[in-house]
Amino acid sequence: MTVPQNASQDHNARAGAAAARRGSDGIAATVVRSGDNPAALPETPIIAIHRSDSSGTTDNFTTYLDTAADDWPHGHGKDWKAPGGLGKAGTNGVADAITTKRGSIGYVEWAAARHRNLSTVGVFNGGGAYARLSAEAASATIAASTMLGSDDDLRLQVNYQTTARDAYPIVMVVFEIVCTRGIRADRLALLAAFLGYVISDPGQELATDLGYAPVPASLRTKVASAIAGIRS
């Protein structure tokens, strides 16, 4: 997930509630501040764009804020709870608003920002660096995540405050839930081939092209082992 902006200059961002801002768009209760110096924000009034509909994207973004920001009082969830700002329905609604409204900032999936060639901010991480979103930076956060399950249960808990300086902290893991036993014999080979392709080099390259971060090598090994253990 990325934080795109429509501004005349480049900015970094850290989670927090910056009160030093003119205008009435609710930025003090919503998204980011520019580094450690609110005065460094652009002269254009900020318009904070959020999702108006219930969204897993909002849940992921507010979970990051709730974890990383000491002064974020709104918790996390699929519905945006902070006052102010401008709500738009769906990823396309948010991305379109940022594209057309000068001074706007929001949150969308990486693929949507890339598709519209939106400028994005570097996000402050637990290592004290402003990390730019890239496939490698997102993958570094996944590599630093905690494994919740055991054996073939590969559920992860993302560490939004990872101290890896090259890690981009706002990521969301997509899981494939598969039965390890009881698969119909005529479908087993097809299922294994599909899952195997997803974690293969060509599959990971395609996923990156589509705006997904590659699975770290250490985790790919575990996924391959889990696929090999699927039985009819």
Q: Strands (DSSP E) along 78-193, which ranges?
A: 86-88, 104-105, 119-120, 122-124, 130-131, 146-147, 156-157
C-alpha torsion 165→168→174→179, nearest 10: 0
Contacts 24+ apart (CB under 8 A), 115-122: 118/2, 118/4, 118/5, 118/6, 119/4, 119/5, 119/6, 119/7, 119/10, 120/2, 120/3, 120/4, 120/5, 121/3, 121/4, 121/5, 121/10, 121/11, 121/12, 121/13, 121/32, 122/11, 122/12, 122/13
126-161 pLDDT, tens digit each:
888 888 899 999 999 998 888 887 888 888 888 988
Sequence-distant (6+) residues with CB within 8 A of 90 are 51, 53
Return the pLDDT at 202: 95
CA–CA–CA angle 135, 120, 92 (5° rounding)? 90
Query: What is the value of pTM for the model shown?
Result: 0.78
Return the pLDDT at 23: 30
Whether the Cβ atoms of residue 56 and residue 78 lie closer than 8 Å to each other: yes
Return the pLDDT at 8: 58
The Cα 40–Cα 36 span in angstroms is: 9
Whether the Cβ atoms of residue 133 and residue 2 lie closer than 8 Å to each other: yes
The Cα 86–Cα 94 span in angstroms is: 9
24-49 pLDDT, tens digit each:
333 333 344 444 444 344 556 788 89
User: Mind listing the domains of the chain with CATH numbers?
Assistant: 4-124 (3.40.190.10), 133-228 (no CATH)
**pLDDT per position in the chain (232 positions), as tens?**
788 888 755 555 554 433 223 233 333 333 444 444 443 445 567 888 999 999 999 999 999 888 888 778 899 999 999 888 899 999 999 999 999 988 888 999 988 998 899 988 888 888 888 888 999 999 999 988 888 878 888 888 889 888 988 999 999 888 888 888 888 888 999 999 999 999 999 999 998 888 888 898 889 999 999 999 898 8
Return the pLDDT at 14: 52
Q: How far is CA 204 from CA 100, 113, 172, in A?
A: 33, 20, 16
Q: Angle, to 10 degrees, between the axis of helix 201-209 and the axis of helix 185-199? A: 60
Return the pLDDT at 99: 92
